[in-house]
């Protein structure tokens, strides 16, 4: 065999080996690519599974599932907290901070003096009906320019500070106004303490002016009627009117 023939055979042999080698390399590379794709798919699946677990756990927090909270806490995804440290709304969970708790404490401590002040103001207000009427009498006395002790004495003798008192003769209210007298003095409701006191005090002042400040004549006319006093005088006063004047004077004298 000539050198050329040997050379040709060798080249043919090498070509066959290269082709086989190339085929084998292609197959190995394709397998490697398949392995990478499989690993990638497994990684994606694992990642999706982790996301699913996290999603379920987060949804569990909104329904106050302590098991899901513990799960996330174990992976250091959230700080653990319990029911006593959070407040649930309709769709969110809010953490109650210590600053809010401190603010509530400060607000409560500031509210205590207000309550105390309200209690002091309440204690300063009159508690009984008689106390309220006594204060009202003092204001009416200034309004009609009569001594308050005089109005107090008449109210005590007439009704004992009872605004709903009614006499057998039909006199009504604190100063026992007859319906005709009440109407004359502009009183629409004799059982209204303020109306009754203003009407009765103005009527008493009118009588004092009529009798030149003579208290006995004015009181007799208030109790017995000024017509009777004008016609009969004090000498014929009934026992009831005499006792009435005596009670009022007895109340006045200790006052000086």
Q: Are the beta carbons of 134 and 152 closer than 8 angstroms?
A: yes
Instruction: Give the Cα separation of 62 and 195 in Å (integer).
Output: 66
pLDDT profile of the chain (256 residues), mean per 10: 51 53 56 72 73 65 53 50 39 40 45 44 68 97 97 97 96 98 97 98 98 97 97 97 96 63
Is residue 158 part of the annotated active site? The answer reads: yes
- What is the pLDDT at residue 9? 57
Domain 129-255 -> CATH class: mainly alpha
How buried is 167 (Cβ within 10 angstroms: 0-12 exposed, 13-18 middle, 19+ buried)? Answer: exposed
Q: Are 140 and 155 in contact (CB under 8 A)?
A: no
Place of tokens 């009614």: 166
60 Cβ contact partners less than 8 Å away, ≥ 6 residues apart: 67, 68, 69
149: Cβ–Cβ under 8 A, 6 or more apart, which residues?
251, 252, 255
- The backbone torsions φ and ψ at residue 186, rounded to the nearest 5 degrees and listed phi first, read 80, 25
Instruction: Pick the closest to residue 85 from 104, 100, 106 (CA basis).
Output: 100
Q: Which residues does residue 177 pair with via DSSP β-bridges, in sequence order?
A: 172
Query: What angle do the packed helices 148-159 and 193-210 form, to 10 degrees?
Result: 110
Residue 137 in contact with residue 148, Cβ under 8 Å? yes
* Active-site choice (158, 172, 235, 240): 158
Q: Who contacts 216 (Cβ-Cβ below 8 Å, separation ≥6)?
A: 234, 245
**The pLDDT value given to residue 53:** 66
Q: Which residue ranges make up each domain of the chain?
A: 3-80, 84-125, 129-255
pLDDT of residue 67: 56
pLDDT value of residue 56: 66
User: What's the pLDDT score for residue 29?
Assistant: 62
Looking at residue 251, what is its pLDDT? Answer: 85
SS3 244: helix
Strand partners, 88: 93
Q: Which distant-in-sequence residues (6+ apart) come within 8 Å of 53 by Cβ? A: 71
């Amino acid at each position: 065999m000539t050198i050329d023939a040997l050379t040709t055979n060798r080249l043919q042999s090498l070509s066959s080996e290269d082709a086989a080698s190339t085929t084998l390399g292609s197959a190995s590379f394709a397998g490697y690519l398949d392995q990478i794709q499989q690993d990638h798919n497994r990684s994606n699946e694992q990642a999706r599974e982790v996301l699913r677990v996290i999603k379920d756990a987060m949804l569990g927090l909104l329904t106050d599932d302590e098991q899901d909270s513990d799960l996330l806490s174990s992976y250091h995804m959230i700080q653990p907290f319990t029911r006593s440290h959070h407040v649930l709304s309709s769709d969110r969970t809010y953490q109650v901070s210590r600053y809010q708790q401190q603010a509530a404490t400060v607000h409560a401590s500031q509210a205590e003096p207000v309550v105390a002040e309200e209690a002091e103001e309440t204690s300063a207000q009159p508690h009984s009906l008689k106390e309220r009427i006594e204060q009202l009498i003092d204001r009416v006395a200034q309004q009609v320019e009569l001594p308050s002790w005089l109005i107090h004495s008449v109210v005590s003798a007439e009704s004992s500070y009872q605004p709903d008192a009614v006499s057998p003769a039909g006199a009504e209210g604190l100063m026992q106004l007859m319906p005709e007298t009440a109407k004359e003095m502009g009183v629409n409701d004799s059982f209204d303490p303020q109306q009754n006191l203003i009407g009765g005090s103005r009527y008493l002042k009118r009588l004092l002016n009529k009798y030149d400040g003579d208290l006995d004549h004015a009181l007799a006319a208030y109790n017995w009627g000024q017509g009777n006093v004008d016609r009969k005088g004090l000498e014929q006063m009934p026992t009831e009117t005499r006792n009435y004047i005596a009670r009022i004077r007895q109340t006045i004298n200790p006052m000086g």
